[in-house]
Copies of this chain bind each other. A is one copy, B any other.
Amino acid sequence: MKNKGHTTHKAKMEKLKKNVDASISAATIDKGVGILLTGNGKGKSSSAFGMVMRALGYGYKVAVIQFLKGAQSSGEEKFIQDNFPEVLFHQMKTGYTWDTQDRDKDKAAAISSWKVAKKALADKSLHLVVLDELTYMLSFKYLDESEVIQALNNRPQNQSVVITGRGGGKKLKNWADTVSEVRDIKHAFNSQIMARKGVDY
């Protein structure tokens, strides 16, 4: 005799499978996706680099433009430069704006990095473009929002773009096909645990 739990599980899973299959059949648009990873929790940039790993796994071409970051060395930087020098990897290198404390210098650096990004967003050979921490460039008004949105909209149809950073604004959220908000429920830092090499950076 079959036990009841087993039968119930099977019936539930059959129903779930039906729903999942129906959603998969309904998704028929085959194009690059625009992803915005926002919120104040840990995991936005690392998620972008996980997607870089996926794209590299299939041998696709990738570009990474890091706004803010680059003043200090990081695992992802070392990884890409040591193992995948063919990845277009650009860093603004000014570091966090509270370290430089020089708005004009930061703005000039942002505009110069945006030029690299814009070129990537027009490059048909790129499967994935990561614009890490771009949102801050918009909230600080270092970059012109309409110009950024326009370049994102005009990109090649098969190119996916991942943008990370807190905030992001209404227009960027409208542009994105997928928006995830990473909420900080708890952070090791607040328990006095140091940022971990090979995990946090």
Query: Which A residues contact B (CB, under 8 angstroms)?
Result: 5-6, 9-10, 13-14, 16-17, 20, 23, 26-33, 35, 37, 39, 41-58, 60, 74-80, 82-83, 96-104, 127-128, 160, 162, 173, 176-189, 191-201
A180 / chain B contacts, CB cutoff of 8 Å: 41-43, 182-185
Contact, CB under 8 Å: B57 / A103: no
Contact, CB under 8 Å: A181 / B178: no
Query: With A31-B193, A49-B50 in contact, is A57–B198 under 8 Å at CB?
Result: yes
Distance from A79 Cβ to chain B, minimum over Cβ atoms (Å): 3
A194 / chain B contacts, CB cutoff of 8 Å: 27-30
Contact, CB under 8 Å: B99 / A82: no
Distance from A108 Cβ to chain B, minimum over Cβ atoms (Å): 13
Contact, CB under 8 Å: B32 / A196: yes
Distance from A54 Cβ to chain B, minimum over Cβ atoms (Å): 3
Query: With A182-B180, A185-B180 in contact, is A13–B101 under 8 Å at CB?
Result: yes
Distance from A89 Cβ to chain B, minimum over Cβ atoms (Å): 12
A49–B50 CA distance with the chains assembled, in angstroms: 5
Contact, CB under 8 Å: A75 / B46: no
Provide 6 A-B residue pairs closer than 8 Å at the C-beta atoms, listed in order of the A residue. A13-B101, A27-B195, A41-B180, A47-B50, A56-B83, A57-B77
Contact, CB under 8 Å: B128 / A192: no
A183 / chain B contacts, CB cutoff of 8 Å: 39, 180-183
A75–B126 CA distance with the chains assembled, in angstroms: 16
